[in-house]
Structure 1
Amino acid sequence: MSKAYVLVVDDEPDIRELVREILEDEGYAVATAESADQARSLLRERTPQLVLLDIWMPGDDGISLLREWAQGGVCPFPVVMISGHGTVETAVEATRHGAMDFVEKPLSMGKLLATVEQALNAPDAVAAPAGAPAAVVEPVGRSSAMRDLREQAERLAGTDSWVLISGEPGSGRKCLGRYIHSLSERRAGPLVEVAAGTIAGQSAAHELFGQVRGDQVIPGRLEAAAGGTLILDGAADLDAEAQTRLASAIDAGSFQRVGGSERLSLDVRMIAISRRDLTAEAHAGRFRPDLAYALSVIPLTVPPLREHAEDIPELVVFQVDRLVEREQLGYRRFTVAAQNRLRNHHWPGNVQELHNLVQRLLVLGDGIDIEVGEVEAALSERPAAAGGDSDWPQALALPLREARERFERDYLQRQLQRADGSVAQLARLAGMERTHLYRKLRALGIDPREGGESGGGRA
Structure 2
Amino acid sequence: MNAKAAHILVVDDEPDIRRLVHEILEDEGYEVSTAENAGQARQLKNEKKPDLILLDIWMPDTDGITLLKEWIAEGGFASPVVMMSGHGSVESAVEATRLGAYDYLEKPLSLAKLLLIVERALESRQLQTELPVPKAYQTLDFEPVGKSATVARIKEQLKRLAQHDTRVLFVGDAGVGKELYARYLHNHSVRRDWPFVDVAVGSLSPENSVIEFFGKEENGKVIPGLLEQAHGGTLFLSEIAGMDKESQLRLLSALESRSFLRSGGVKSVSVDVRIVTSTRVSLEEEVKAGRFRRDLYYLLNEITMEIPPLREHSEDVPALLGFYVDHFMNQEKLPFRKFSMAAQNYLRNYSWPGNVRELKNLVQRLMILGVGDDMELDEVKGALGAVVEQTSGSSLVPEFYNLPLKEAREHFEKAYLEYHFEKSGGSVAKLASIIGMERTHLYRKLHALNIKL
User: Shared fold by TM > 0.5?
Assistant: yes
Following the alignment from structure 1 to structure 2, what is the Cα–Cα distance between the partners of residues 394 and 167? 38
Equivalent of 1:162 in 167, 170, 190: 167
Mapped pair 1:315 → 2:341: no
Mapped pair 1:221 → 2:235: no
Following the alignment from structure 1 to structure 2, what is the Cα–Cα distance between the partners of residues 189 and 411? 35
In 2 relative to 1, CA 59–421 (structure 1 residues): closer, same or farther, beyond 3 Å?
farther
Q: Which amino acid aligns with 2:353?
A: P
Instruction: Determine the structure 2 residue equivalent to 1:431.
Output: 441
Following the alignment from structure 2 to structure 1, what is the Cα–Cα distance between the partners of residues 443 and 160? 41
The answer for unaligned runs of 5 or more in structure 1 is 1-54, 81-97, 101-115, 122-133, 386-392, 453-459
Mapped pair 1:195 → 2:200: yes
Mapped pair 1:212 → 2:222: no
Q: Within 5 A, what are the aligned runs for 1:199-348? A: 199-348=204-353
Following the alignment from structure 1 to structure 2, what is the Cα–Cα distance between the partners of residues 120 and 79? 15
The superposition leaves residues 136-182 of structure 1 with CA deviations (integer Å, 9 ceiling, x where unpaired) of 52111111111111111111111111110111111111111111111
SS in 1 for 2:235: strand
Q: CA deviation at 1:431?
A: 2.8
CA contact (8 A) 2:203 2:443 kept: no
Q: CA deviation at 1:337?
A: 1.5
The superposition leaves residues 296-345 of structure 1 with CA deviations (integer Å, 9 ceiling, x where unpaired) of 11111111111111110111111111111111111111122211100111
Q: CA deviation at 1:61?
A: 5.6
In 2 relative to 1, CA 409–275 (structure 1 residues): closer, same or farther, beyond 3 Å?
closer
Following the alignment from structure 2 to structure 1, what is the Cα–Cα distance between the partners of residues 400 and 235? 46
Following the alignment from structure 1 to structure 2, what is the Cα–Cα distance between the partners of residues 403 and 190? 33
Following the alignment from structure 1 to structure 2, what is the Cα–Cα distance between the partners of residues 207 and 236? 17
Following the alignment from structure 1 to structure 2, what is the Cα–Cα distance between the partners of residues 415 and 366? 22
Q: CA deviation at 1:437?
A: 8.5
Instruction: Determine the structure 1 residue equivalent to 2:120.
Output: 73
The answer for unaligned runs of 5 or more in structure 2 is 1-69, 83-100, 104-116, 389-395
SS in 2 for 1:367: coil
The superposition leaves residues 386-426 of structure 1 with CA deviations (integer Å, 9 ceiling, x where unpaired) of xxxxxxx957994782754443343454587779699xx99
Following the alignment from structure 1 to structure 2, what is the Cα–Cα distance between the partners of residues 149 and 62? 49
Instruction: Determine the structure 2 residue equivalent to 1:62.
Output: 77
CA contact (8 A) 2:169 2:304 kept: yes
In 2 relative to 1, CA 271–396 (structure 1 residues): closer, same or farther, beyond 3 Å?
closer
Higher mean C-alpha displacement, 65-74 vs 328-337 = 65-74
Following the alignment from structure 1 to structure 2, what is the Cα–Cα distance between the partners of residues 368 and 397? 15
Q: CA deviation at 1:191?
A: 1.3
Mapped pair 1:379 → 2:384: yes
Q: CA RMSD in A?
A: 3.9
Bigger Rg, which one: 2
SS in 2 for 1:138: coil
Instruction: Determine the structure 2 residue equivalent to 1:184.
Output: 189
The superposition leaves residues 199-225 of structure 1 with CA deviations (integer Å, 9 ceiling, x where unpaired) of 344412111111112312221101111
Q: Which amino acid aligns with 1:431?
A: H
Q: Which amino acid aligns with 1:58?
A: A
Q: CA deviation at 1:285?
A: 2.0
In 2 relative to 1, CA 337–201 (structure 1 residues): closer, same or farther, beyond 3 Å?
closer
- What percent identity do the matched residue pairs reach? 39
Mapped pair 1:140 → 2:145: yes
Following the alignment from structure 1 to structure 2, what is the Cα–Cα distance between the partners of residues 346 and 432? 28
Q: Within 5 A, what are the aligned runs for 1:406-421? A: 406-411=411-416, 413=418
Q: Which amino acid aligns with 2:441?
A: G
In 2 relative to 1, CA 298–239 (structure 1 residues): closer, same or farther, beyond 3 Å?
same
Q: Report the TM-score when normalising by structure 2.
A: 0.64
Q: CA deviation at 1:264?
A: 1.2
In 2 relative to 1, CA 77–65 (structure 1 residues): closer, same or farther, beyond 3 Å?
closer
In 2 relative to 1, CA 211–252 (structure 1 residues): closer, same or farther, beyond 3 Å?
same
Following the alignment from structure 2 to structure 1, what is the Cα–Cα distance between the partners of residues 212 and 362? 35
CA contact (8 A) 2:337 2:373 kept: yes
Following the alignment from structure 2 to structure 1, what is the Cα–Cα distance between the partners of residues 358 and 147? 20
Q: Report the TM-score when normalising by structure 1.
A: 0.63
In 2 relative to 1, CA 403–324 (structure 1 residues): closer, same or farther, beyond 3 Å?
closer
